[in-house]
Each structure stands twice: as C-alpha cells, then as structure tokens.
Structure 1
Amino acid sequence: MDMNQYLSMFIDESNDHLQSLNESMMGLEANPEDISIVQVIFRSAHTLKGMAATMGFEDLASLTHQMENVLDLVRNNKLRMQDFIFDTLFKSLDALESMVEDITGGGEGKADVSSIVSSLQAIVRGEIPVAGGEAASVSGPAAQAVETPIHLDEFQFSVLEQSIQEGHQVLYVDVTIRKDCQLKAVRAYMVFDLLERSGEVVKSFPSVQDIEQEKFDQSFSLYYITQKSADQIQAMILNLSEIDKVSAVALDQDSLQQLGQETAAASEVAATTTEAPAAAAPAASAAKPLPTKEEGNKPAAHKTGGAPSRTIRVDIERLDVLMNLFSELLIDRVRLEQLASEVQNGDLTETVEHMGRVSGDLQNIVMKLRMVPVDTVFNRFPRMIRDLAKSLDKKVDLIITGAETELDRTVIDEIGDPLVHLLRNAVDHGIESIADRVAAGKPETGTVYLRAFHSGNHVFIEIEEDGTGIYPEKVLKSAVKKGVITQEQAASMSDDEAFQLLFAPGFSTAEVISDVSGRGVGLDVVKSKISSLGGNVTIYSAPGKGTNFSVQLPLTLSIIAAMLIRLGSEKYAIPLTSIVETGIVKQSQIRTIHGNKMVEFRDSHIPLVSLSRLFSVPDYDESTEEETEIVVVRKGERLVALAVQDFIGQNEVVIKNLGKYLPDVQGISGATILGDGQVALIIDPNAFIK
C-alpha cells in the first residue's frame, strides 16, 4: 500500500494528538489523582501508536508503546504519579514531537531515545529514583499486578449460575493479540464473531464498544456460556491469525460463588472510592479497573456526546486561492457600481445593489474562514512556561483568558515568535526568585497573565506579570553604558521614553547571559515583527509590582477599509484604522519650527508632511493653494498630518503586495486595484511617524 497519500493526514493528526497529550499532561500534573485524565492521555497515546505503526514509523510507535505501559499502570491504580514520572513522560513527548518534525521535513522519524526508554522501563519495573539519587523499588500495587475477574451485576451473575445448573459450560476467557497486529479491533471482532456462533458472551472487559473503537491494549477478557469445552474454545481462537495467546478456564458452582464474593467486595471499594479516594487507593489497586458507572462515565466528559464531527480540514493554499478570487470579484463589483451610476439604468442599478449585498455577505464568510482562534498559538505556552520555570527554579502560574479571540491566519502565522520572546522575558526578567518574592512579601508563585480581546478593528494581546517591574533609572543607566543614548539624552527622558529603550537593537538589562536571555536579541525583533504586521507594542510598568506588554494587532491583513485620496492625477488609499480625523488648514495656520512644517491640532502642534513632495507628484503642489486638506493619522500616541489634494471617499480595498521586483518603497505598504482599473498605492502611516 502506498502510504504517501496519507502522510499529510498522519502529520496533522499526530500534531493534534501531541498537543492534546501536552495539555492533558499539564492538567494531570496539577491534579495527579484524576484517573479520568489518565484515560484521555492513554487513548491519545494509543491512537498515536497505532497510526505510527500503520505508517511504518517503528521508532515512534515503539516509544509510544513504552509510554502506554507506564500509563496503563497508572490508570489501573498500580502506580502513583511522581515528579520523576512526569519529567520522563514530558521528555518522551518532546522526543515524539522532534520525530514528527523530522517526518514533516521528509525524514524517517528516527531518533536515539534509548535513555528515555530505559527510564520508562525502570518505572514499569517499579524502580523510581528518590531524592538521594538511588533507585527505590516500589512495593505493593506497582510490583504485583494482581487481577480479579470482571465485575458482574446481580442479573449477569444469576445467568451464569443458572447456566451451570442447566449443564452448560461457563468459561472465563482471556485473549491476547500479537503486538504487531495493526487492526486490533478487527481481530477482536473476529474472536467475538467466532464465539457467538457456539455460545453467548455475557460480559467483557473492556466493553464491546471500547473494543470496537480500539480502546484497549493487547488483551481483553470475557465470560462465555457454551456447550464446548475450554480446550476446544482455546483451540478455535488460536486458529485465528495474529492471536498471541488464549486462556480459557471453566468455572464450577464453587468458583462462581467465590467470584460473587470478590466482585461484591470490588463494588464496595468502588463505592467508597467516591467518598474517600486517598484512603481507598491501596484497596482499589488490587483489582483491575472495572467498567463501573463511576469510571465508565468519566471519559464521556472529554467526548462530544457522540455527535458527528462538523469540521473539515482545508488546505491553507485553497483558502488563499479563494481569497484571491474574491478579491477579483470585489474589484469587479466596484467597477459595476461605477458603471451603473454612469448609465443611470434602474434595472441595472437594482441588480448591482443586490449583488453588492450578496458579495458583502460573501465577504464576511470568506473573512471568517480565514479567522483562526489565537488558541492555536496560546496552547503551546503552558508547557513552555512549565519547563522554563523549572529550569530557572521559579514557581510560575500562567493564566490564559480570551483564547477564543479570532485573528486572520496571516497574522496568527507571524505572531507566535514575538509572544514566545515576551513570555520568556516575563518569566526570566519579570518574575523574581522564590526567595526574593518571599522577602518582598509576595506569594512564592508568580503569576503571568496572557490575555486576548477585540477592540474595534484591532485585537489586543497582553502579557502581564506580578514581578519586579521595570525601574526607569536602571534602564537609562544600562542604555548609557551600552552607548545607545548619551548622558544628556538620559537626563531629559520620561519614564515612558525610557521603557521604549528596551526595544533598541542589542539592548539588554540582563546582567548574566543565559540560555534564556541576556544576549540583546529579543525585544527589538518583537518590535520590528509587530510593526511589520501593522501593529505596535506598549509597555506599562510599576516598579516592584509588575509589567504589562500590550500588543495591538490589525484584525486582518487582506481586505481593509480605506480613505481614497487624490494627488494630481494619482490616487492613494489610507487605512481608516490609522485615521484620527480629516480637516482643512489655511496656509496662514502652517508654522515652520526648526525647519519643519507644523500645524496646530487640539491644543498642540503636530508635523505636516507633504505627500506630493514625498512621492514626487509632478502635477500638484499644495503650497500654491490657500487651503489644504489634511488627514491626521496616528501611531500609538503620536500624530502627524498628511497634506492631500482631494478626498474621493471611503471604500473597501484589497491589499496586493508590490511583488519581489519592486524594492521596499518608503511609506507604501502595498497597492490595490480600483473600480476603474487604476492602481492606487496604499499608504503606510507608520512610516511617517518616528
């Protein structure tokens, strides 16, 4: 079978399962006694193993199988989770991620994981290192896997008892499927089909539904009523292919009576577990977990109630093609609206108006298709913060809010790395050591908040911590020392201006270079990346109390609302999100200060920039006119006035890049095609404000 056609599906599914494993492991670390989480982890690992084995990635399947062995002991209450086990499982997940990355890059997914496998095998044997570094053997449940028969209710028990009295054979059958079997559910179905031809299966563990969905390891057990002997049944099952071993034991009246007492005791244990989980753990661990109501219902909380999936995977390139086609439709719509207004035909105007409404709805749907929850970026951060805090010997809680907030996919793709820099910065520079926090009267555990929320046509992402805060004098001292500013400049700087120095290239306040930070690479990259996306970063900090980095991002980078303006024979578009207001100034109101033209705006003076001179427009010069139209644009807290000739009006424009043949033009972020087929350049207001 050619597996290449399934490779992309395997990679997508594997990444989903790995992300789910990471999230569930984080949840289990916070609540180690919750067996329902272990069940979810086990199912994900089991599915991943099956997929890897089917695709022929043996190393990946082998490592996942070793993880399964550990998780199986935990979910059967034969092993208690400890720090060493968590660390080993997290290392296993990292190894699995690197294998999947290798497969994504065209490799075979091979890696040297012998040390991790050794650790996992040691855990299964009950050898877990203690604080002194020696291996301690785990006594009791982990060392001895004592199994009792499947739990039967009163009705099932009476059916078996009556069958023995009537002369039927009652068998306890345990079937183990070979480890290299790739379709276990099919093999199990063949066993059940064979048995049901010669008798009746009363109860199985796992349940028939779980076995059909491959939610079992290599073996399953069942109670069976038949006229055939145990040896005959054993031989029949062994005749099936890919069966490793079969155990069939005939039960008599005495053994069934003893079984009834044992299963009754197991029921009592299950009942008391709900009242006192900690006290009941040793007793419960003696029995194989039974499909009782308490446990059987827990995994259901992690399902969607069996409803069919309402989502499909769509290749990103197809969405890009759809966006480009819609862009052409939008250009034609504007052209039709212009022609309809010139022709003045009622039917044509009515049809064009209807087309405008329909294409407007279509535009909303196309835009929503491209919108992705920021959760796709946020979900990798809890694990990163956990590992980082551990390496720095700090205690840190990450609290995420607004993960459902949606952003355009093009923005999502670019925002991950800047957020990684900011979060690492918050944990390394912001959160103090445990001793320092206690000395300052703070709780041992520092808190990092990661928030996302909508505001107008922007999305804000905030990273806030309750750490040491930023001391402006320390920043200025470091900046002077590194030659970023002079002593005179430092003396005249405000606190906000001092904070902005953190974004200077090569600047760092870290006194020691570490693996985490201190090389002067990070915040300048963050600033330039976010600026290239049309956003900006603002810092708010209170010394001793904490710091807040607020990132403002545009909702989308594909279709924007813009103000169209005219300069002589040329047309330009200015994004509405950057415009504060429009107005008219007289030549007499323009001041020249230090050689720069300024105009008065709301009790302050702001620079006036001549677009016609900047872009060398040959047939327009605003200095010859008595009055000049201006557009006031904003970047952060700074304003500038752009001098224009005429306002054409507002319009939704499709952003097209200038292509690789044109160099980066100062002040231009792209171009758009207007209804009359003319190209209008899109002005980048950020370029005029420094």
Structure 2
Amino acid sequence: MNEYLEVFIEESKEHIQALNDNLLVLEKNPTDIGMVNEIFRSAHTLKGMSATMGYQDLANLTHKLENVLDAVRNNQLKVSSEMLDVVFEAVDHLEEMVMDIASGGEGKRNVETVVTKLQAIEAGEDISNASSTQKEVVPSSTQSGSELSSSLDEFELAVLKESEEKNFNIFELNVSLREDCMLKAARVYMVFEILEQEGEVIKSNPLVQDLEEENFEQSFSVLLVSKTDAEVLRQKVLKVSEIEEVLVQPFSLADISAKQQAPQTSSTNGTPTSNESATNNASSSAKESGNVKIGNKTIRVNIDRLDALMNLFEELVIDRGRLEQISLNLKHNELQETVERMSRISGDLQNIILNMRMVPIDQVFNRFPRMVRQLAKDLGKQINLEIIGAETELDRTVIDEIGDPLVHLIRNSLDHGVETPETRTAKGKPAEGSLTLKAYHSGNHVFIEITDDGAGINKEKVINKAISNGIIKEEQASSLTDQQVFELIMASGFSTADKISDVSGRGVGLDVVKNTIESLGGTITIESEQDKGSVFSIQLPLTLSIISVLLVEVQKEKYAVPLSSIIETVVVHKDDIMQAHKKSVIDFRGKVVPLIPLEHVFQVPEQLKQDDYYSIVIVRKGEKMAGLIVDSFIGQQEVVLKSLGEYLSDVFAISGATILGDGQVALIIDSNALVK
C-alpha cells in the first residue's frame, strides 16, 4: 500500500477541507439537504479510503460521523449549532489523524469523547437505522445463490465446464457479515484476496462494483473454481474479522437447466452481465472513435520534483548569462543570433516553470472560515468573514511560509479589533463585525489585505505601552507619525491586551509576522482609524528564485539591487548634496532622502577618485526612502538568487548571491535592511 500513501494523504486532506467548507455552508442553511449529501459523500469516501489502506481508527471515526449525517439526510435528525460543534470536533480529529499518517504515524488518536458525543446525538433521537447507507436490498444468501447460477453467461459457463472436466472443485460460497460490521467493503476485499489465492473467482452476487460501494446488506455469494477442500476454504475465510458465517456448497453444472445455460442478456435484477457490459463498452468506444475525447489533463507532481527542475533551470540561466557575455566579447554574428534565440526560448521555459510552481492562495485561505467560526464562539463575538481573490496565484515557496503570519493577523483582528456585539451596538454599529481577507496581483507582487471594521488602533494606548516597555523614549512620542505609531505594535514582545488568553496577550505574534514577511522579501503596512477599523496590507514577491535586478559597481565589486525595491536611479552633482543631523541627504521630488554610501556599508577598499557627480539608486521600504551611492550603473538583468547558507546567514544587508555571465559572484543587496 505504500505506493498509494501519498495519493491517500493528498485526497484525504481534500476531503477534510471539503467537510470543513461544506459544514460552514450548512450552518448558514440548515435545511439544505443537497449540502448534507455533499458532506456525506466526502465522509463516505474518506471512510472507504481509510479502510482500504488499513487505518482502522480513521475509518471507525468517519463511520460514526457518517451515521449522524445519514440520519440528517433521512430527516431523522435536525441540524443544530450544538450538533455541528460535535461534527466539527470530529473533523478536527480526522485532520489530526491524517497529519499523523503524513508524518509516518499510524493515525492513532484517542477519540472516545467525540465518539460518545456522536453516539449520544443518535441515541437522543432514537435513531435505529442511522448507520444504514444502502439503497437496495439484496436477497438472502440462498436466494443469492440461485441468482448466481441463473445469471451466468456463455463464457462463464464454458469456463466452469472446462474446470469440471479437469477435476477442479467448483464451490458456491455464501458469506454473512456481522450485523455491527462497519467496514463491509474492506471485509469483502479481504475475502476476495483469500479466495483469489486459493483459486479463481468466476462470479459474485451482488456484482463487484456493488460490493465495493457497499450496496448490499450483510451477505454476498461467490462462485469459485479451486483445488482446495471446502472446509479449508471455510476456515480461511472465517479468519477475517467481522465474518458471521461462511457456507461452502459444491456447485454442479448438471443442476442448471437448458434454459439457464442459454446466453443471458441481462441479470435477474436488471444489471447487465459482464458479456453485455463488454459489448456496450465496445459499442460506446466505437461511437466515440470519431470524436475528440477530452480526458483529465491534470496530474499531481511532487513539489520536490518541481524544486529539482527549478534548480536545473537556474543553472541554465547562469550559463545563458555566460554565453551572452562571450558572444558580446567575440562579436560573432551567428553566435549572437543563436544566443538571442536561446534567450527567448529559455525565457518562455522560465515562465512555464514558474507558472507550474504557482498555486492559488486559496490553499492558505481555505483554513480560515473554520478558524474564524471557532474564534468568534470563543470570544463571544459575531463575525462575518468575506474572502476576495482566493484564486490569486503565488509561488509555492511563499504559500508554505505565509500561512502562519496570516493566522496571527486574523487572530489579532478578532481579539483586539472587532468589538463584542454589546459594545458595537452601543457605538451604533451592527452587532455583527466584518472581517475581509483580500488578495490581488499588482505588477510583480501579490498584495494580501486583512480588513476589519472594529475599534481601530488606540494610538495613546500603544504609545504608553511602548514607553513602559522601553521601546521608545517619552520625548520621542510627540514627533511620531501615525504610521510610526502603528509600526510599534510589531515590536518584539509588544502587546496591548489587558489579560493573557488563549488567543493573545503574550506579546508574541506581530513581530513574528513582520520578520517572516521581510524574510520573504515582502513588506507589511498598517492603516487604522479610531472606531472605524484597521487594514493590514502585505506585499509579497510573486516568486523568490529568479529575480530582476539592477547591477551596480562599487569600486571593483559588483552588487545587485532588486528592481522591486527601486523607485528611480539619479545622477546628482556634489553641490546638490546637503547635510542634516550630520548626515548627507538630497532633495528628491520635494522629500528629504538620506544617502548611504555602499562602499562604507560593505567596507569596500577605497580608491582615490575626484568625481563631481554621484550615481544614486533611490530605494523604498513602505513610506521610507534612502539613496544608495554607487560608482556606476551596469544595467538590468535577471539573476538566480542563491542563499548564502546558514554560516553566512547573519551578514548585514545581504540577502543572497548570484553568478554573473563573466563567472563573477555578485552579492544581492537587502535594501529593506539599509532603509531600516
């Protein structure tokens, strides 16, 4: 089963997510039986998959959940908030079990409490048939046997005749499962495994498809050709758990009348036989042969394979740059044409590979409706969550990292932002608070906004807390802009919560958010208005591995500045440089911008130079700007961002390195660190 484990885990996660999403919809529309059926189908499929893979605890809990859902769709139970709380609790356990399996465990978990609650829901309504999922009644084993013999087609009869002539035993086995058997399809599978080791199964009643879908009561029949004795067969099948009885009877072709031996066009219950099915399939294929048949064009690809592909392409980009440099130096026309063509093709290939790594941000957003529901109940608040732009795509690497920061921001908005219904009513607001999660593309960036209509940020409270925590001095407070005050809440250990709770108040959260986002090359800004609400806006790069940069020269060294942080490049005369607070600044479009000589920051050995003009790169982080003084601009280029590794991870203002076309290594500047 190990080869199917990855598929099982991925599909289980999808079904659990579907359960969460559809249960939230059902809570708003308790009479929507169509949605109940959707939820039931997800639970039923998950149960079958778990049983087949041998994860009994997971299958058992899903079966209990299935009982409650089945009672709801059969109008034996009504959907209530209390019932859904228990169902959500069960789904949480299912998710934990799947995560345990994904990390190499067996999916074991103590679920007695939630099982007791699920059973109590059933017992309270006196549901006698809650676990019945069958839609059709199959005759008892004796009747099944008679149907088994009467539904044999010409091919099957020929096989039986030849087996009889070669002195094989032909048996009809009637297998009865226990009344409390929960995993009927799994037991059938195990019985068939044993029988196929001992001989050849010719026919079953019900048909195999019905057995797999559990469309039968407690018994089924099998026609078997074998050399094994009847009692040995019986004992082997009885070893399968939850088997009540096995009746093994010899089967003889002489007992079948001439009428029954004729080719059958259909089985007695109206289901086509294998012969007819084959004919129908052949006919169907013939009809389709003249048409274009569109199948499923999607495949699952392990992210490690995409990472390996990306690494190989990054090496190709480095070699492409090297070839471009060589062709320029040699000035060979044919070589230059070939390199230009190669550059265009590799550019298209780059777009394809990057798009393969792009996944909808919905993979992160889809966990939040359930989380918001639970938090609102815990905090005694009413929240309406709106999600916009869930289809917006982002690089898989960024997707994996952005989930936790968003969780912190949403918890912060619900706890500190949105007020209780009583407080909101007193302020003349609707009792139900609003929380909006929005994602959209803009240029080479993705923006994520978390907006609430709560109390906003209390600036005085923030300033007082920052002073008491020693984050700022009292004399600095009066000169702070609103934006600077809002940024204080992202300082390490900062919290304005009056008491510590499970949700917040420990001073951990927004500093982690800020650090994570900046490590991804992104920024976070805050806007707030007292009693109107707050907006937390996150700006992230589309991808992290191949970036566009401006190459600059500082003395003999080359550096790369990401284009995403550059506003403009300017050349300034030395007489236009002014001094403010003993630091060099320039007037850039009416704003005072401080200058940062890169040769001082990176301690580049200075050479004597007498320049009347300075080359400056204007960079921005949020509302702040700075001018990086360089010796010259080389030009724009796409480069591969390579990490410096753990040993050099703390080098100031350097985010990585790249290999240029001439083989030199250029360090990539972290302009955010310089502006800060």
| Shorter-chain TM band | 0.7 to 0.9
TM-score (norm 1): 0.77
The equivalent position to 1:312 in structure 2, one of 293, 296, 299, is 299
Structure 2 CA distance for aligned equivalents of residues 560 and 395 of structure 1: 43
> What secondary structure sits across from 2:507 in the alignment?
coil
The equivalent position to 1:405 in structure 2, one of 363, 367, 392, is 392
2:673 is matched with which residue?
A: 687
Structure 2 CA distance for aligned equivalents of residues 678 and 686 of structure 1: 25
The equivalent position to 1:673 in structure 2, one of 634, 644, 659, is 659
> What secondary structure sits across from 1:503 in the alignment?
coil
The equivalent position to 1:657 in structure 2, one of 643, 656, 667, is 643
- Deviations along 1:105-128, one digit per CA (max 9) or x if unpaired, are 322221111111111112122x1x
Structure 2 CA distance for aligned equivalents of residues 520 and 362 of structure 1: 46
The equivalent position to 1:322 in structure 2, one of 285, 305, 309, is 309
Q: Does 1:366 align with 2:366?
A: no
Change (3 A) 1:74 1:620: farther
> What secondary structure sits across from 2:534 in the alignment?
strand
Q: Does 1:49 align with 2:47?
A: yes
2:626 is matched with which residue?
A: 640
Structure 2 CA distance for aligned equivalents of residues 217 and 87 of structure 1: 31
- Deviations along 1:410-464, one digit per CA (max 9) or x if unpaired, are 1111111110000001111111111111111222211100000011111110000
Structure 2 CA distance for aligned equivalents of residues 40 and 333 of structure 1: 52
| Aligned amino acid, residue 487 of structure 2 | Q
Change (3 A) 1:438 1:483: same
1:346 is matched with which residue?
A: 333
- Deviations along 1:491-523, one digit per CA (max 9) or x if unpaired, are 222222211111111111111111100111111
Asked if the contact 2:574/2:614 (under 8 Å) is kept, the reply is yes
How large is the RMSD of aligned CA atoms in angstroms? 3.2
The equivalent position to 1:454 in structure 2, one of 422, 441, 461, is 441
Structure 1 CA distance for aligned equivalents of residues 596 and 424 of structure 2: 50
> What secondary structure sits across from 1:510 in the alignment?
coil
Matches within 5 A, 1:582-593: 582-593=569-580
Unaligned 5+ segments in structure 1 are: 128-137, 152-174, 197-207, 223-238, 247-305
Change (3 A) 1:663 1:63: closer
Asked if the contact 1:176/1:218 (under 8 Å) is kept, the reply is no
- Deviations along 1:329-362, one digit per CA (max 9) or x if unpaired, are 1111121122222223332222211111111100
Structure 1 CA distance for aligned equivalents of residues 338 and 330 of structure 2: 13
Structure 2 CA distance for aligned equivalents of residues 34 and 220 of structure 1: 31
Structure 2 CA distance for aligned equivalents of residues 455 and 51 of structure 1: 42
1:511 is matched with which residue?
A: 498
Deviates further, 345-354 or 603-612: 345-354
The equivalent position to 2:559 in structure 1, one of 572, 581, 603, is 572
- Deviations along 1:549-573, one digit per CA (max 9) or x if unpaired, are 1111111111111111112221111
Structure 2 CA distance for aligned equivalents of residues 123 and 332 of structure 1: 66
Asked if the contact 1:453/1:460 (under 8 Å) is kept, the reply is yes
Q: Does 1:529 align with 2:527?
A: no
| Runs of 4+ residues deviating >3 angstroms | 142-147, 175-196, 208-212, 214-222, 239-246, 306-309, 619-622
Q: Does 1:631 align with 2:597?
A: no
The equivalent position to 1:7 in structure 2, one of 5, 8, 29, is 5
Unaligned 5+ segments in structure 2 are: 137-175, 196-200, 221-236, 247-292
Structure 2 CA distance for aligned equivalents of residues 28 and 503 of structure 1: 38
1:389 is matched with which residue?
A: 376
Structure 1 CA distance for aligned equivalents of residues 462 and 95 of structure 2: 39
Paired residues in the alignment total 567
Change (3 A) 1:671 1:541: same
Structure 1 CA distance for aligned equivalents of residues 191 and 72 of structure 2: 25
Structure 1 CA distance for aligned equivalents of residues 522 and 205 of structure 2: 67
- Deviations along 1:58-83, one digit per CA (max 9) or x if unpaired, are 11111111111111111222211112
Asked if the contact 1:43/1:215 (under 8 Å) is kept, the reply is no
2:116 is matched with which residue?
A: 118
> What secondary structure sits across from 1:384 in the alignment?
helix
The equivalent position to 1:95 in structure 2, one of 74, 88, 93, is 93
Structure 2 CA distance for aligned equivalents of residues 410 and 347 of structure 1: 39
Asked if the contact 2:210/2:216 (under 8 Å) is kept, the reply is no
> What secondary structure sits across from 1:643 in the alignment?
strand
Change (3 A) 1:69 1:244: farther
Structure 2 CA distance for aligned equivalents of residues 79 and 600 of structure 1: 73
| Aligned amino acid, residue 633 of structure 1 | V
Structure 2 CA distance for aligned equivalents of residues 185 and 42 of structure 1: 22
Change (3 A) 1:375 1:425: same
Structure 2 CA distance for aligned equivalents of residues 145 and 445 of structure 1: 37
Structure 1 CA distance for aligned equivalents of residues 595 and 484 of structure 2: 23
TM-score (norm 2): 0.78
Q: Does 1:543 align with 2:530?
A: yes
Asked if the contact 1:185/1:211 (under 8 Å) is kept, the reply is no
Matches within 5 A, 1:417-456: 417-456=404-443
Structure 2 CA distance for aligned equivalents of residues 215 and 390 of structure 1: 38
Identity of aligned residues (%): 54
| Aligned amino acid, residue 98 of structure 1 | E
- Deviations along 1:170-213, one digit per CA (max 9) or x if unpaired, are xxxxx9895444458979999996569xxxxxxxxxxx99948x
Structure 2 CA distance for aligned equivalents of residues 121 and 386 of structure 1: 24
